[in-house]
Structure 1
């Protein structure tokens, strides 16, 4: 049986009840004097268990929020498979991979936008002059945020390079594969560039800026770049690096690792509890409720509304995915207009403002050999969660 730590710090009125060997459900008082019936998440739990038994991931932590409550928490499987097995726990720290993009880099950029530091349709080269090289002079900041810049997916890793400055030079010299605005190409280079832009406009490193102006206001104490050694025992390892060493507390993404662990596209480590806090704060701000989320409501609406070039069918917000071939984490029942993102290591967050719901799924699906796959798991859990939360959509 799993013993859960204190529940996420969402609302003091929440009452927490243990409802199963690997689940915890939170219920707020009901208007008629008692708690509302807990949503039936048996299908969610069955699918999570199946993912572990079928080897889609060695273990999984899942949290589902609805109506300003965490209504379901589940933990299954193992945090570590080899060399010494460890049981997965609710407080496991995960390499969040590309969730860094919408959770950290995009809101940091948009804070600077709120301060009038730039306009979204300004060319990137106005602030990073070197970026104009290789035909990039017309790429705008909005193009980067929506992945419509035309830049290729990744920096060149075929030759050895190391460090922040080397990554900056490679990014500035990267050449687009198609004209900006012509098509959706998901690219880490877009957000690596945005990370450099945060540094240029703020005068701070990305991790320092994010900690001071985003993570600290949200009281996310288990979220950061470059996790300290004291966290190591709770961190889910991913896979072996180029030297055959198991990565545990070192970011899995090779470009970020070469950059020293901090980049605009990857590098965040976090927990399910902190992701619940983040998701709820974001939904609260978007709904006009009191919230610590450090952006204005209109800015959050802008970020979570389709903002791709006119006539394009791949729907992207500013940092957030809405409807593209990466949107399997929406499932079949949350509507287009909900939004979220995934991470290569096996992490995902999907939010539906219409039903005031979110689904957090955290796995380290690459551990130990890189063969896990949770694309279908994300889809199935989101579908089952939506059916349980909003039966009328069935």
Structure 2
């Protein structure tokens, strides 16, 4: 069964009188509106009074086709045999408007770890309000609680953890700071089996606090549950309250996240998606208890896992982050603390960008929304939250991919597809005139746009505009050929926000979200053909590549005007775009 929510007429009217007008008219000062636009990145926070409301994609200038295609893909993955995941809920929001909510598949489908299906009457369909174990997305709640300590003057991120937890100084950890725990640069190993090797909660916590670093602190990035378990203990020590109570009082209750918390009550069990059938430890089919064995052995409340939530509640959290720490007039974090959570402190570890809690710029699940300021987190159970301040967008995917066993395929393809659908739904209008050329993002493809042979008596100049948002391994190159068979890349000089300095023979990268201007000089004693070639590798793409405003000249003589003579260009894999 698949659910698809459509905004009611009243809500459509409300959004049509606000966001839709903004899309058409801009901001009233002659500047285009950023709503629905991928090429107009925002800086700073969204207006503090932004509150989520429902509306169709068109109400905020979005193309519904990529969003619909992603919803169909999610439904297909649940219907496959075996499914990529039994069930899923997704939510997409842009500039405060929830433009898509989908629910597909089963919250409970199997009776055991051998994939024995329950009778149809006993299976439970996923609904839009199904509650999922969000696994490591829980780390964001712990991190926000730590930043709440900072806001209250109870700790500083550059303080030694041992200043507040003296026992943490054991085995070479005396100098480790709160910041290093938040950015996973403490030196802790990823995981130790607390549930198996220690007999009770107290000894398990001592085992974490006693643990020696696996690498010297500050010298490497290693994602570790132990960092957040320690931070959870820090929150409890400095507040005198349980981590669950702090998260409730400081975060979920003020934000109105009514379906979010630890150890959900038995009354909610029918709404909870099942996770794994566990034989070791002998827990049977886990439903309504935290899936993570270490968090379970710590009573269901731990810094690294334990939170249950819904897609809508997580969207509220995401909007509070976009708003700078406030929602519906309730501030849960100071704006400066939110800014710190979204700032990369791991410049020394490229590829592992991380703020004080949030992962940053991770294309493997953020897809086309990736950029230096894009924040999020994933969870082992098959969950992901992506928050893109540059487009003021949110993408949430909740699945029960570990039901009934954790041995299935990775769900990263679904995470990436959903986030990319929102990026593709945003417009990148032509830079010149009404049309441009676009190479749609697709894995393992090559697209070429080729000029006719051009005859000149001397050097020719090739100028064009390019919008490039790609994985670093995917590139746009300009090539020339004297015979139409052998091609050579030519050096380009490029200008614009985020453009490469000096000469370059390929254009790639993401995050700048701006049109560039490019030009090159080509010298040939024979007629020369120019082509633009876009190539992608087998995995990960961005928003894609567009080119526009092609002009090829010899001195004052115009050899090719791509705006007036697009029919002279031969496209293979490129298409004309109008938005």
- By the TM > 0.5 criterion, same fold? yes
Contact 1:163–1:260, Cα closer than 8 Å, also in 2: no
Distance 1:381 1:6 in 2: 18
The aligned residue for residue 318 of structure 1 is 356
Flag the 1:117–1:271 CA change in 2: closer, same or farther, 3 A: same
- Residue in structure 2 matching 1:296, options 319, 322, 334: 334
The aligned residue for residue 84 of structure 2 is 56
Flag the 1:38–1:312 CA change in 2: closer, same or farther, 3 A: closer
SS in 2 for 1:255: helix
* Greater fraction helix: 1
- Residue in structure 2 matching 1:360, options 396, 399, 419: 396
The aligned residue for residue 117 of structure 1 is 154
Distance 1:57 1:177 in 2: 34
Establish whether residue 238 from structure 1 lines up as the match of residue 262 from structure 2: no
SS in 2 for 1:152: coil
The aligned residue for residue 289 of structure 2 is 250
Distance 2:218 2:419 in 1: 31
Query: How far off is 1:323 after superposition?
Result: 3.6
Contact 1:162–1:258, Cα closer than 8 Å, also in 2: no
Query: How far off is 1:243 after superposition?
Result: 1.2
SS in 1 for 2:77: helix
Runs of 4+ in structure 1 displaced over 6 angstroms? 3-7
Contact 1:281–1:291, Cα closer than 8 Å, also in 2: no
Establish whether residue 15 from structure 1 lines up as the match of residue 11 from structure 2: yes
Distance 1:377 1:213 in 2: 32
Distance 1:38 1:27 in 2: 13
Flag the 1:182–1:36 CA change in 2: closer, same or farther, 3 A: closer
Query: How far off is 1:318 after superposition?
Result: 0.6
Distance 1:204 1:16 in 2: 44
SS in 1 for 2:104: strand
- Residue in structure 1 matching 2:250, options 213, 224, 242: 213
The aligned residue for residue 108 of structure 2 is 80
Which shows bigger deviation, 208-217 or 226-235?
Answer: 208-217
Match runs of 1:255-334 below 5 Å: 255-285=294-324, 291-308=329-346, 310-313=347-350, 314-323=352-361, 327-334=363-370
SS in 2 for 1:262: coil
Distance 1:119 1:265 in 2: 21
Q: Deviations over 1:205-256 (max 9, x none)?
A: 1001111111111111100101000000010010122215100011000100
SS in 2 for 1:216: helix
The aligned residue for residue 21 of structure 1 is none
Query: How far off is 1:4 after superposition?
Result: 7.3
Which shows bigger deviation, 68-77 or 352-361?
Answer: 68-77
SS in 1 for 2:222: coil
The aligned residue for residue 204 of structure 1 is 241
SS in 1 for 2:404: coil
Distance 1:108 1:159 in 2: 28
- Residue in structure 1 matching 2:70, options 32, 39, 44: 44
Contact 1:285–1:291, Cα closer than 8 Å, also in 2: no
Establish whether residue 94 from structure 1 lines up as the match of residue 90 from structure 2: no
Distance 1:305 1:131 in 2: 27
Query: How far off is 1:257 after superposition?
Result: 0.4
- Residue in structure 2 matching 1:346, options 357, 367, 382: 382
Query: How far off is 1:87 after superposition?
Result: 1.1
Query: For structure 1, which runs of at least 5 residues remain unmatched after alignment?
Result: 8-12, 18-25
Query: How far off is 1:160 after superposition?
Result: 4.0
Distance 2:16 2:402 in 1: 34
TM-score (norm 1): 0.89
Distance 1:64 1:264 in 2: 27
Contact 2:89–2:399, Cα closer than 8 Å, also in 1: yes
SS in 1 for 2:107: strand
Distance 1:121 1:280 in 2: 28
Contact 1:39–1:71, Cα closer than 8 Å, also in 2: no
Flag the 1:14–1:126 CA change in 2: closer, same or farther, 3 A: farther
TM-score (norm 2): 0.61
Flag the 1:340–1:27 CA change in 2: closer, same or farther, 3 A: farther
Distance 2:187 2:416 in 1: 28
Distance 1:321 1:173 in 2: 27
Flag the 1:382–1:3 CA change in 2: closer, same or farther, 3 A: closer
Distance 1:71 1:389 in 2: 12
Query: How far off is 1:5 after superposition?
Result: 8.5
Flag the 1:27–1:296 CA change in 2: closer, same or farther, 3 A: farther
Contact 2:86–2:403, Cα closer than 8 Å, also in 1: yes
* Greater fraction strand: 2
Query: How far off is 1:333 after superposition?
Result: 4.4
Q: Deviations over 1:124-157 (max 9, x none)?
A: 1111011111111111100000000010111234
Query: How far off is 1:39 after superposition?
Result: 3.2
